[in-house]
Amino acid sequence: MTGSTDMRRVFVADLGGTHLRTAVVDESGRIQFRAKQQTPPAESAQDIVTVLVAAARECDRQSAAAGFSISAISVVAPGTVNVPAGSIIKVPNLPFLSGFNLAGAVSHELKRPALLENDANAAAVGEMWRGAARSRRSLVCLTLGTGVGGGIILDGKLWHGAHHAAAEVGHMCVEPFGGVTCTCGSRGCLEVYASATAIVRMTSEARSRYPHSRLQTDSELTSENIFRAGVAGDELALEVFRQMGVYLGIGLANLINILNPEMIVIGGGVMNAWQLFEKDMNREVNERAFPLLADLVKIVPAECGDDAGLLGAAKVAFDRDEETQ
């Protein structure tokens, strides 16, 4: 037996571009029955519903064996979602989901309330609930992964915006002159300088200036081995992370001046290279943000890792449940 039987529990699913991660989370934030699979090759919205329902039913079976039940379903997706309607507006990796009421379809099959949220928003909630921002009320959470995601929490509440697409901090412009083209259609976005994809591109672009770099011989450049080269003192890798830190710091200074958050939490895979970009990031923040705000804000690494989205998904479902009672 794990945990008390009168505690609420929700089934959570993090529908990523590469992996589908699922689990059951209880009210104390304990994660049970976690599973991770490749995001299945889906061709229709119904394919996604089928996979989510099968994963939830498996968790139902395991929960029943442990003597408790699952009261709600919460799904997070990497794109723009209409939270009140439970529908997908746009998920670039799964274009056939546009306009689909995913929460409604899953709720209908599983006969329980279901909720849909954006993955970076959920990660921000996860960090506030069980991570680096515990007891904070106003924060910005950046997720530096394949892209750059963002979640903004003001006075304890996620800021969704008038049309459900707020907190796209990865698409604020940090390089107006000759900025690299971004997938969003703009140029010079933070995402093209601070994501894992950007680290690889910047390394490749700067390579010819560093003929003695160990990255000259790496046939496959990944952000992970560029990070390892940086830790080993490779000048090319160090230069790329210094640049990345500058761009990130410019973005953070903008966020600090506009929102005056208590804390900025930085997660995602690129966060592992914190020691390589921290100094340049902090210098830009101190040079560009209002001194009072820059002194008071705490800029910290995320603590929940890959679980931030799952935890946040659970927390928004528990909160919704309380609001509707």
186 is a contact residue toward Zn ion (CB under 5 A): yes
Closer residue to Zn ion (CB): 8 or 90: 90
Span near Zn ion by CB under 5 A; candidates 35-43, 106-114, 186-194, 259-267: 186-194
Closer residue to Zn ion (CB): 93 or 272: 93
182 is a contact residue toward Zn ion (CB under 5 A): yes
Coil vs helix vs strand at 210:
coil
Which of 15, 88, 115, 189 binds Zn ion (CB under 5 A)? It is 189
Phi, psi of 151 (to 5 degrees): -140, 135
Closer residue to Zn ion (CB): 9 or 171: 171
Q: Show the beta-strand stretches assigned E in 119-198.
A: 139-144, 148-154, 157-158
Q: For the CB of residue 168, give the shortest distance to Zn ion in the complex, in Å.
A: 8
190 is a contact residue toward Zn ion (CB under 5 A): no
Q: For the CB of residue 150, give the shortest distance to Zn ion in the complex, in Å.
A: 12
184 is a contact residue toward Zn ion (CB under 5 A): yes
197 is a contact residue toward Zn ion (CB under 5 A): no
Footprint (CB under 5 A) of Zn ion, residues 203-242: none
Q: Which residues contact 245 (CB under 8 A, 6 or more apart)?
A: 276, 277, 278, 279, 280, 281, 284
Footprint of Zn ion (CB under 5 A): 171, 182, 184, 186, 189
